[in-house]
Amino acid sequence: MAEAAQGRVQAAVESAVQGLEREHIRAMQGTMFRCSARCCEDTAASMQEVQRCIERCHAPLARAQAIVTSELEQFQ
């Protein structure tokens, strides 16, 4: 009985994570890649400026992924 309950909880968590990824994370990834592409299109920028620009583009997604990971770790 406990195993069945644990299985239902696990399935619910997996479903929630998949929904979050599908509805939010993918959009953030698209935004990040488009932003990064714009950084690379700046031919006047130095290599370091382009790298910093790309890192700024990646920061919101990295923060979101860190939050999701932290919440899942706390849940476990």
pLDDT category at 46 given cuts 50, 70, 90 is very high
Confidence check: pLDDT of 42 > 90 = yes
d(CA 28, CA 61): 6
11's tokens: 């399935």
Output helix, strand, coil percentages for the chain, rounded to the nearest 5. 90, 0, 10
Confidence check: pLDDT of 25 > 80 = yes
Confidence check: pLDDT of 41 > 80 = yes
pTM of the model: 0.78
Q: Which uninterrupted H or E stretch holds 74?
A: helix 47-75
